[in-house]
């Protein structure tokens, strides 16, 4: 808003100054009215505002172009370029038509992103790794029953899937398809399910979004989560000995450790707010640790490197 007002005053001052300069030097007659200069400048300012906002400011392009046509026509008459306002009506008609065309062209709202389904078959693999690079939007990760696929999912906006196989191990990388759009891109809503039948290494990179990761039924050996300005909720596996590392910026990070799972938790960085259930995980030195951690059959090691984040573990 401040920038558009600056442009308006700049156009007014330039127009008025130019007319006064030309009048004082005798280049144009003294009776050229400043009203038409002001009207032309206001029309150009409104047109600039519509172009910058892609038609979202105000009601469209018709009114600014009509002001430009009227101001320009009378100014040309005062300058003696045209006579008897021969150009006024044609210019107004052209301005209305051009304004309607520009308004229709910029009034298009981006369509909802197409949702596609993808899957990666196990094909006999006995272990797997999955990396998900997700942008702004919503990401959910859960388990699925059945043994045919390493992962299945629905992906708004499409997804690029890269699969590598090495003996009995399959690795999949999911990343968004980059579309060239005017304005901001639409948020991506991804729902991914993972196989219960094979041990997994998971790497999740999220941006300004909401991520809900329910890993309680999965066998996860390594979990790495990198999150930006987002809300991330993680339910850890109910069995095994996963290694978990979480890196977050200005994020809200919530981690749920199953009741029968012991934990050792290290939190580093400048997290602005940290809440750990110290009844379950008493603080020992610079870490939080279950009393039975060393002897526990099912346990998790958690390392959180957080910036200006809120961290809650329970």
pTM across the whole model: 0.64
Quote the strand ranges of the chain, DSSP E. 115-121, 127-133, 137-144, 149-156, 160-166, 169-175, 188-195, 200-205, 209-214, 220-227, 231-235, 243-248, 252-256, 262-269, 273-276, 283-284, 287-289, 299-306, 310-313
* Domain edges within the chain: 2-106, 115-313
Please state the separation of Cα 284 from the chain's center in Å: 40
User: Tell me: the pLDDT tens digits for 168-194?
Assistant: 999 999 998 864 333 344 567 899 999
Yes or no: say if 32 and 40 are a contact pair by the CB < 8 Å rule: no
Q: Specify the pLDDT at position 311.
A: 87
Per-residue pLDDT of the chain (314 residues; tens, 9 = 90+): 445 556 556 666 776 677 667 666 766 666 667 677 777 777 777 777 777 665 554 457 788 888 877 777 777 776 666 666 666 777 777 777 787 777 766 655 555 568 899 999 999 999 999 999 987 788 999 998 777 899 999 998 889 999 999 999 999 999 988 643 333 445 678 999 999 999 999 999 887 678 899 999 999 999 999 887 678 899 999 999 999 999 887 678 899 999 999 999 998 876 668 899 999 999 998 899 999 999 999 999 999 987 767 889 98
Identify the pLDDT of residue 96: 76
pLDDT of residue 16: 67
């Amino acid at each position: 808003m401040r920038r558009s007002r600056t442009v308006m005053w700049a156009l007014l001052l330039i127009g008025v100054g130019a007319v006064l300069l030309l009048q004082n030097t005798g280049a144009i007659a003294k009776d050229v009215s400043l009203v038409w200069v002001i009207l032309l400048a206001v029309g150009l300012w409104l047109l600039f505002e519509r172009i910058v906002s892609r038609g979202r400011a105000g009601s469209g392009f018709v009114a600014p172009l009509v002001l430009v046509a009227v101001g320009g026509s009378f100014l040309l008459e005062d300058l003696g370029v045209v006579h008897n306002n021969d150009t006024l009506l044609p210019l107004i008609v052209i301005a209305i038509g051009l304004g309607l065309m520009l308004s229709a062209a910029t009034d298009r709202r981006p369509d909802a992103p197409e949702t596609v389904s993808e899957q990666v078959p196990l094909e006999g693999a006995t272990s797997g790794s999955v990396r998900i690079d997700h942008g702004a939007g919503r990401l959910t990760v859960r388990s699925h029953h059945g043994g045919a696929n390493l992962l299945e999912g629905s992906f708004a906006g499409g997804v690029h899937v890269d699969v590598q196989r090495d003996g009995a191990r399959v690795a999949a990388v999911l990343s968004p398809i980059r579309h060239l759009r005017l304005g901001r891109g639409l948020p991506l809503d991804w729902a991914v399910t993972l196989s219960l039948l094979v041990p997994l290494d998971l790497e999740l990179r999220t941006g300004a979004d909401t991520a809900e990761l329910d890993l309680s039924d999965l066998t996860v050996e390594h979990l790495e989560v990198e999150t930006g300005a987002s809300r991330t909720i993680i339910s850890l596996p109910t069995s095994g000995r996963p290694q978990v590392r979480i890196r977050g910026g200005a994020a809200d990070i919530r981690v749920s450790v199953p009741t029968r799972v012991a934990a050792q938790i290290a939190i580093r960085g400048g997290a602005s707010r940290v809440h750990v259930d110290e009844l379950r995980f008493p603080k020992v030195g610079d870490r939080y640790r279950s009393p039975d951690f060393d002897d526990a059959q099912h346990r998790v090691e958690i390392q959180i490197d957080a910036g200006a984040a809120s961290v809650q573990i329970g």
